[in-house]
Amino acid sequence: MAVSAFFFALMSLLVKLAGERLPSQEIVLARSVVSAGLSWAVLRRVGVSPWGNRRGLLLVRGVFGFAALSCFFYALVHLPLADATVIQYTNPAFTALIAVWALGESLRLREVAAVVVSLAGVVLIARPSFLFGGAVGGGLPLLPAGVALAGAVLSGAAYVTVRRLGASEHPLVIVFWFAMISTLGSLPLAAREALWPTAREWLLLAGVGVGTQLGQVYLTRGLKRERAGRAMTVAYLQILFAGIWGAIFFDDIPGAWSIAGALLVIGGTVTVARR
């Protein structure tokens, strides 16, 4: 899980570096093409059809995943790495809330309180002027912060759809559909403002795809060997790695408000993840 966190944080760093010039949808497209190709190759090797059985749900999961990925990459380009990563990590809270409605799962009072605490953490990180006024400076721009939060909600919806799919689909089939839908969805959006990558940007884009795939591989291995609650706690190392990359490459040093907000988000989502 620690290795997975490292690769996902590295992927975020490469997205932000590539996004200094390239549009975020072009990065989504590159990431999706690499993931779709790798997933297709492995499925062919193990003799599993990539088209799956419950194609309607696979399509829904792909659409939610594409929308969430688009929001997350946009946030990575326009927000400090650590802040964008922390906001994205509120997705377990939204997964729990959506699962109550979509899957009929129960949510105890303690977990409701944990969701509220996580959202309070996001407010501390974003520090919108209509709540804090001019008393607290250094808040995040509201549009990217809102997009980041929307990405977390959409990630929660995507994960609930994966839960609904259950054991009926091979995990790589789900990953392939996600990548395929993201490729088809990002292609027309990327084409409108596409820029031909430089040699350095080609390497960054390839790194985004490979880093994502390695992160997913080690995430799967970790979840197979450890209880989900404990495993996801280790996954929060991604926030630490993102903070280190942000400080080294972009001179983004989290302030006291951001650190306090991150602690609230981590505490709340760990509580939900351990349910």
What pLDDT does residue 101 have? 87
Mind listing the pLDDT tens digit for each residue in 19-59?
999 999 999 999 999 999 999 999 999 999 999 989 999 99
What pLDDT does 30 receive?
95
CB 12 within 8 A of CB 76: yes
- Residue-wise pLDDT tens digits, 71-98: 999 999 999 999 999 999 888 888 888 8
- Whole-number pLDDT of residue 40: 94
pLDDT in tens, 134-147: 555 567 888 999 99
Q: How confident is the model at residue 189 (pLDDT cuts 50, 70, 90)?
A: very high
pLDDT score of 100 more than 90:
no
Residue 1, pLDDT score: 85
| pTM listed for this prediction | 0.90
Distance CA 91, CA 86 (A): 10
Predicted confidence at residue 141, as pLDDT, reads: 87
Q: What is the pLDDT of residue 70?
A: 97
> Mean pLDDT over residues 171-192, rounded?
93
**CB of 165 within 8 A of CB of 54?**
yes
Reported as type and span, the H/E element at residue 155 is helix 142-165
Residue scoring higher pLDDT (22 or 240): 22
Closest to 95 measured CA to CA, from 75, 119, 115: 115
Whether 234 has a pLDDT exceeding 90, the answer reads no
Confidence band (pLDDT; 50, 70, 90) for 127?
confident
User: Domain segments of the chain: what residues?
Assistant: 2-273
Query: What pLDDT is attached to residue 255?
Result: 84
Which whole-number Å values give the CA distances from 245 to 4, 45, 140, 236, 271, in the listed order? 16, 36, 19, 15, 27
CA distance 115 to 109: 10
- Indicate whether 131 pLDDT > 70: no
Flag whether pLDDT at 273 surpasses 90.
no
**For residue 153, what pLDDT is reported?**
95
Query: To which residue do tokens 């969701």 refer?
Result: 115
